[in-house]
């Protein structure tokens, strides 16, 4: 072997040794520098509904009930099915902007400084997916009493590869939307049967009594409120800021989850409930990244 050949072989060996040292000592796969920094808002949603027999919400004696269990977020990506969506429906850009399925992407590191939880109405295509849900008029804003129950009972956790750390109740991370001012809407009651207008589903004004209490409980009117603010519109100034950030390195496996340790009964439709909702978790992070080469 010539001198140049030996030098070249020695250089390759040194490079391999350096890469091995970086991996074993620092957990780094390369010596590329994460030289760029920006701020990111990441979000992911879980869809609580009763579309199928295995859905998160089951009807027990006519009462929608969240089943005990762990509901995992930050795993399904855009244009994928998962996180409570019925088979055939896909996550949209409004549902998530997460880039790694249960892991940090190869070329990014995150420091989560703020976390937030919000509850929203169910997606219309989710409600339309189930004939029973559609007939029960489960579309609409979630009742404030249900919001309180969900936030008080749910526990937010972060899970690394084998280590799960409870961070607190959802209530500790609920995002305020300012003062809540609730008033009866102009159309105060739903009309699930459609008898008020030749089969047209819609609202009934106050005092409209053509619907008699009938064999079908869902024939009764359901009161609704109009809200100008509340948990549905997060206020960035009142997010939960962490004293110590959550550090997530490139390629690290992680997810955020919400756990209900016991059944949680929500309001029935007769009492203004909806029987379904969407839970969104937000994370505001400082991100360092490198251009993929």
Pair of tokens at residue 89: 């429906």
Strand-pair partners of 164: 159
pLDDT number for residue 148: 86
Sign for the pseudo-dihedral over CA of 33, 36, 39, 45: negative
Per-residue pLDDT, 238: 60
Question: Cα-flanking dihedrals φ and ψ of residue 50, to 5°?
Answer: -125, 35
Is residue 196 a contact partner of residue 208, using CB atoms and an 8 Å limit?
Answer: yes
| Residue 13 belongs to a domain | no
List residues bridging with 247 in a β-sheet: 111
**Alpha-carbon distance 208 to 74, whole Å?**
46
Is residue 245 helix, strand or coil?
Answer: strand
Q: How far apart are CA 230 and CA 175, in angstroms?
A: 9
Instruction: Report if residue 115 sits inside a domain.
Output: yes
The CA distance from 20 to 15, in Å, is 9
- Which positions ≥6 away from 26 have C-beta within 8 Å? none
pLDDT of residue 107: 83
Domain count, the chain: 1
CA distances to 105, 135, 209, 272 from 197, rounded to whole Å, are 54, 16, 13, 22
pLDDT tens, N- to C-terminus, the chain (293 residues): 555 666 766 777 777 777 777 777 777 665 566 767 888 899 999 999 988 878 999 988 888 899 999 999 999 999 999 999 998 899 999 999 988 888 888 888 888 989 988 888 888 888 888 765 655 555 667 877 888 899 999 999 999 888 899 999 998 888 765 444 555 554 455 554 444 444 434 444 444 444 444 444 444 455 555 454 444 454 555 667 888 888 888 889 999 999 999 999 998 877 777 888 999 999 998 888 876 65
Evaluate whether residue 29 is within a structural domain. Answer: no
- Angle at alpha carbon of residue 57, lines to 55 and 61, rounded to 5°: 125
CB contact set of 28 (below 8 Å; sequence gap of 6+): 22
Asked whether residue 111 is domain-assigned, the answer is yes
Q: Which domain holds residue 135?
A: 37-181+228-289
2, part of any domain: no
Q: Where do runs of H (alpha helix) occur along the chain? A: 3-21, 124-129, 131-135, 144-153, 170-173
7 domain-assigned = no
Residue 250 belongs to a domain: yes
Return d(Cα 128, Cα 264) in angstroms, integer.
Answer: 24
Judge whether 201 lies within some domain. Answer: no
In 3D space, the residue among 153, 155, 125 whose CA is nearest the CA of residue 139 turns out to be 125
Residue listed under structure tokens 């060996």: 13
**CB atoms near residue 127 (< 10 Å):** 21
């Amino acid at each position: 072997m010539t001198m140049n050949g030996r030098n070249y072989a020695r250089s390759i060996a040194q490079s391999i040794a350096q890469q091995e040292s970086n991996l074993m000592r620092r957990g780094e796969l390369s010596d590329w520098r994460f030289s760029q920094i920006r701020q990111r808002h990441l979000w992911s949603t879980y869809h609580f509904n009763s579309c199928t027999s295995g859905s998160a919400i089951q009807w027990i004696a006519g009462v929608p009930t969240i089943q005990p269990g762990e509901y995992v977020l930050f795993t399904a990506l855009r244009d994928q099915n998962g996180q409570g969506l019925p088979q055939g429906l896909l996550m949209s850009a409004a549902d998530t902007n997460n880039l790694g399925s249960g892991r940090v992407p190869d070329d990014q590191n995150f420091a989560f400084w703020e976390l937030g939880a919000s509850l929203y109405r169910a997606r219309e295509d989710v409600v339309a997916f189930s004939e029973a849900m559609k007939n029960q008029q489960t579309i609409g804003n979630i009742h404030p009493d249900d919001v309180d129950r969900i936030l008080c009972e749910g526990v937010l956790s972060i899970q690394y590869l084998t280590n799960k750390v409870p961070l607190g109740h959802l209530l500790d991370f609920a995002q305020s939307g300012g003062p809540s001012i609730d008033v009866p809407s102009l159309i105060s009651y739903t009309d699930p049967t459609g008898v008020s207008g030749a089969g047209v589903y819609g609202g009934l004004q106050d005092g409209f009594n053509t619907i008699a209490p009938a064999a079908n409980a869902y024939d009764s009117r359901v009161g609704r409120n109009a809200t100008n603010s509340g948990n549905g519109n997060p206020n960035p100034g009142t997010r939960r800021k962490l004293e110590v950030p959550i550090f997530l390195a490139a390629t690290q496996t992680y997810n955020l989850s919400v756990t209900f340790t016991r059944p949680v009964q929500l309001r029935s439709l007769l009492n203004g409930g909806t029987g379904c909702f969407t839970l969104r978790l937000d994370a505001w992070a400082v991100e360092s990244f490198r251009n993929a080469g």
